[in-house]
Structure 1
Amino acid sequence: MEILALVLGGLVCLVLVLLAAWALAAYNRLIRQRNQVDAAWAQIDVQLKRRYDLIPNLVETVKGYAAHERGTLDAVVQARNAAVAAAGAPAASRAVAENALTQSLGRLFALSEAYPDLKASANFAGLQSELSGTEDKIAYARQFYNGAVQTYNTSTQSIPTNVIAGVGGFRARDLFEALGDERGPVQVRF
């Protein structure tokens, strides 16, 4: 009888050690995933700040060629200021401000078609090229961020890891989603 109690006690201890090892591994995996989400967000932030820095130069260049397009220029400046002000906001709120900025920049670039001198300006072309490259980097950073968030959210919501996530205070993160025109055409007609 004592041997059976000793064996059962040993098995219980082994199960507890294995359970504790799994809990530690799950907790550490959640930490790594959360850190990856934070690092991905920081990359988006870097590219957005670069975009914010390019916009005033672009607006000043356009002012020289299309001064009477004040409404478009003011919309870009207001959208930029709103995006900068949303810098500390959650991803969902920030995405709205960034999408508004993207749309106003699209209208600004459309002006170059109406003003051939502006389109021919080396300064405008250089700024447009830099901003276009930055937009590509933002798109890639958003894609990477959303992938990291998806992995992290899946871990925090899946059984049995969700128990460790709940105890450890890990909460789901928002995706950085494209809204409105940024998603592309809704309907294609031939």
Structure 2
Amino acid sequence: MKKFLPLIIIAIVAIGIYSWGKGFNNTAVNLQESATKTWANVESSYQRRNDLIGNLVKTVQGAADFEKGTLTAVIEARAKATSVTIDPSNITPEQLAKFNEVQGGLSGALKSLLVTVERYPELKANQNFLELQSQLEGTENRINVARDRFNESVEPYNNHVKVFPNSILAGILGFEPMTYFKSEAGSEKAPDVDFDFN
């Protein structure tokens, strides 16, 4: 019996390590998939906004002598925003910053468009425009909720792969911490609001 004792101990340790590794890997995969799916929901919300913007531009183009420069800026920003994609299984801070930058550019162009529309009472009264504007406002809220949910789904994954001793196994198996969605640079400052009626 004594000569089998080392083999039994080795077998018990091997089974324990295998169980820990299997449990770690399966949990990491499940949490990573959850975060990846949540990122897809963020992209889906942005896609909805892009689709609505196309309809909004077409509606606004029908208005007489509307500023073409504003429309062009929105169309170009929309094209840039749709050209940047992110691999959800490998989100890096640089990718997220670039994505955030182009989406911020689109948001700025869209705000300019909506401010410019204020000078066109016949367009503001157009039912199609009002409905699209309302849908865009709702979509912006959806985008915010989707980004928050993405960050909530990244947290348990990052906690799982960063705690010791899981961090050792994460490094061996290639599970890197995921990047949180962050606000645009400068968005922590309150914007200046200037109502110049002259």
- When the two structures are superposed, what TM-score results if normalisation uses the length of structure 2? 0.82
Q: Give CA deviations for 1:47-74 in whole Å, capped at 9, x if unaligned.
A: 2111111112111222233634222211
* Alignment-derived partner of residue 101 in structure 1: 106
Equivalents in 1 of 2:31, 2:83: separation in Å? 28
Look up the match of 1:47.
45
After TM superposition, give the deviation of residue 182 of structure 1 in Å: 4.8
**Who is 1:132 aligned against?**
137
Considering only aligned residues, what root-mean-square deviation do their CA atoms show, in Å? 2.3
Residue 118 of structure 2 aligns to a residue in which SS? helix
Structure 2: 5+ residue stretches without partners: 88-94, 193-198
Aligned residue type for 1:134 = T
User: What is the CA-CA distance between 1:117 and the residue it aligns to?
Assistant: 1.9
Structure 2 letter corresponding to 1:81: A
Offset from partner CA, 1:18-56 (integer Å, 9 cap, x none): 222111101111101110111011111222111111112
Choose from 14, 17, 20 the match for 2:15: 17
For the residue of structure 2 that corresponds to 1:177, the secondary structure is: coil
Give the structure 1 partner of residue 90 of structure 2: none
In structure 1, the partner of 2:74 is 76
Contact 1:99/1:182 (<8 A) preserved: no
Find the residue that maps to 1:114 and give its secondary structure: coil
Give me the whole-angstrom Cα distance separating, in 2, the residues matched to 1:95 and 1:143: 14
Question: For each residue in 1:63-112, what CA deviation from the matched residue of structure 2 results, as whole angstroms up to 9, or x when unmatched?
Answer: 23363422221111111000011124733321211111112111212223
Give the partner amino acid of 2:65.
A
Percent identical across equivalent pairs?
Answer: 31
Distance in 2 (CA, whole Å) between partners of 1:91 and 1:64 is: 36
> For residues 105 and 38 of structure 1, do their structure 2 counterparts lie closer, same or farther at Cα, with a shift above 3 Å needed?
same
- Which position in structure 2 is the counterpart of 1:152? 157
Q: Is the 8 A contact 1:91 1:176 kept in 2?
A: yes
Show structure 1 runs of 5+ residues with no match.
none
C-alpha distance in structure 1 between counterparts of 2:68 and 2:187, whole Å:
24
Counterpart CA distance in 2 for 1:66 and 1:106 is 20
Q: Does the CA-based 8 Å contact 1:41-1:145 persist in structure 2?
A: yes
Does residue 141 of the first structure (1) align with residue 139 of the second (2)?
no
1:66–1:115 contact (8 Å) kept in structure 2: no
For 2:92, the equivalent position in structure 1 comes to none
1:28 paired residue number: 26
**Structure in which a larger fraction of residues adopt helix:** 1
1:164 aligns with 2:162: no
Q: 2:180 aligns with which of 175, 184, 187?
A: 175
* Paired residue secondary structure (1:36): helix
CA deviations over 1:119-143 (Å, ceiling 9, x no partner):
2111111001111111111111111
> Which residue, out of 179, 185, 188, partners 2:190?
185
Mapped partners of 1:10, 1:99: distance in 2: 61
Instruction: Decide whether aligned partners of structure 1 residues 60 and 181 sit closer, same or farther in structure 2, where only a CA change above 3 A counts.
Output: farther
For residues 184 and 102 of structure 1, the distance between their equivalents in structure 2, rounded to whole angstroms, comes to 17
Q: What is the one-letter code of the residue matched to 2:154?
A: V
Q: Which amino acid aligns with 1:185?
A: A
